[in-house]
C-alpha cells in the first residue's frame, strides 16, 4: 500500500511516500516558514522527483494531534483536500505515538511544548519491534511529569525534548535525549503508524477526518469575567 504522509504538528514540516514499510521518498524542512507555504509544494516536488502522481497513492495520512493548533489545521486541511479530490481514504494518527515509531530504547517519553508550563506527553515502552502505549496523550505540567518520571530512565523525543531535559535533569537524573535526527516529528513515523491502522480498516473519508487538539484553542476558552465594584 502506497501512503502519502504529512507531519505539520510543530515548527518543522515533513512529507513521506511509502510502499508498505519501504520509504520511496521523504522531504523535511525546518526553515521557519508557515506550513501553508511549504507542505503542498514539498509533496508536489517529492512526487515529481520519484516519478509518481496522486493516482499512484492509495491513501493519505496526517499527524492529527496533539500539536500546534495552526499546524494541525493546515495539515488536516491539506490531507482532507487531497483525499476528497482523489476519492481515496485518509487517516489521522497520534503525533506523539508517531514520534515513538522510529526511536529504539526501552522507555520512550514523547513530549511537545504546549506552552503555559505544560507539555503534550505520552509514555511508550519498546520491546524489539513491539511498541506499547503506557498512557493516553495528555497535557501535563512539567513538575507533575517530573514526579512521574522520578529516577526511571527515559529517552526524550519531540520538540519539547530539549525543554524537558533542561528543566527536569536536576531531579530526573536518568533522562537522555534521542539522537538529533530522530528527535523531531517525521512523516515516516506517521506512515508506519498509519499503515497498521489502514490495514485494519480504520481509514476514513475526507469528511470524517479531523484534528485532535487535546486542549481547546485559547480563542475558544471562556474569558474571565471582570467584576466591577
Q: Distance between CA atoms of 110 and 89, rounded to whole angstroms?
A: 28
Task: Identify the residue with better confidence: 221 or 134.
Answer: 134
CB 7 within 8 A of CB 26: no
Q: What separation in angstroms does the CA of 169 have from each of 20, 105, 166?
A: 38, 18, 6
Q: Is there a contact between 79 and 209 (Cβ–Cβ < 8 Å)?
A: yes
How much is the average pLDDT of 40-58? 97
pLDDT band at residue 126 under the 50/70/90 scheme: very high
At 203-214, the pLDDT tens digits run 999 999 999 998
Give the C-alpha distances (Å, rounded to integers) separating 87 from 68, 102, 159, 199.
Answer: 28, 30, 34, 18
Percentage of the chain exceeding pLDDT 70 = 94
pLDDT tier at 34, thresholds 50, 70, 90: confident
CATH 3.30.420.40 maps onto the chain at: 2-96+186-220, 103-183
What does the block give as the cell for 113? Answer: 511544548
Question: By three-state DSSP, how is residue 174 classified?
Answer: coil
List, in order, residues 6 or more apart from 131 with CB less than 8 Å away. 97, 100, 101, 108, 124, 125
Look-up of cell digits 511549504: 38
- What CATH number is given for 103-183 in this structure? 3.30.420.40
State the Cα torsion 53-59-62-63 to the nearest 10°: -130
Average pLDDT rounded to a whole number, residues 159-170: 96
User: Measured between alpha carbons, how far is 213 from 143 in angstroms, rounded to an integer?
Assistant: 22
The answer on pLDDT for 223 being more than 60 is: no
Q: Is 224 left (phi over 0), alpha (psi -120 to 50) or beta?
A: beta
Q: 2-26, pLDDT tens digit by residue? A: 999 999 999 889 999 999 999 999 9
Q: Copy the grid coordinates of residue 218.
A: 485559547
DSSP 224: P
- The C-alpha cell at 186 is 517525521
Contact residues for 1 (Cβ-Cβ < 8 A; gap 6+): 19, 20, 58, 59, 195, 198, 199
pLDDT at site 167: 96
- Read off the pLDDT band of 85 (50, 70, 90): very high
pLDDT tier for residue 181 given thresholds of 50, 70 and 90: confident
Residue 229's pLDDT is 43
Look up the CATH number of domain 2-96+186-220.
3.30.420.40
More confident position, 13 or 216: 13
- pLDDT at residue number 33: 79
pTM: 0.91
Residue corresponding to grid cell 494531534: 65
Amino acid at each position: 500500500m502506497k501512503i502519502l504522509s504529512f507531519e505539520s504538528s510543530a515548527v518543522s514540516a515533513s512529507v513521506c511516500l511509502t510502499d508498505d514499510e519501504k520509504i520511496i521518498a521523504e522531504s523535511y524542512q525546518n526553515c521557519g516558514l508557515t506550513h501553508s507555504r511549504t507542505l503542498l509544494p514539498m509533496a508536489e516536488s517529492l512526487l515529481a522527483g520519484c516519478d509518481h502522481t496522486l493516482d499512484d497513492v492509495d491513501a493519505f495520512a496526517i499527524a492529527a494531534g496533539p500539536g500546534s493548533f495552526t499546524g494541525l489545521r493546515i495539515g488536516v486541511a491539506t490531507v482532507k483536500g487531497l483525499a476528497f479530490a482523489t476519492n481515496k481514504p485518509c487517516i489521522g494518527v497520534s503525533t506523539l505515538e508517531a514520534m515513538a515509531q522510529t526511536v529504539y530504547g526501552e522507555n520512550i517519553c514523547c513530549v511537545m511544548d504546549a506552552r503555559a508550563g505544560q507539555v503534550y506527553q505520552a509514555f511508550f515502552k519498546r520491546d524489539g519491534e513491539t511498541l506499547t502505549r503506557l498512557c493516553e496523550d495528555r497535557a501535563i505540567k512539567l513538575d507533575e511529569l517530573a514526579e512521574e518520571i522520578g529516577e526511571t530512565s527515559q529517552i526524550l523525543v519531540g520538540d519539547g525534548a530539549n525543554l524537558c531535559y533542561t528543566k527536569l535533569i536536576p531531579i530526573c537524573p536518568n533522562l537522555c535525549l534521542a539522537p538529533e535526527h530522530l528527535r523531531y516529528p517525521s512523516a515516516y513515523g506517521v506512515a508506519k503508524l498509519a499503515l497498521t491502522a489502514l490495514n485494519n480498516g480504520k481509514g476514513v473519508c475526507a469528511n470524517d477526518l479531523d484534528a485532535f487538539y487535546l486542549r481547546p484553542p485559547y480563542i475558544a476558552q471562556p474569558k474571565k469575567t471582570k467584576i466591577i465594584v
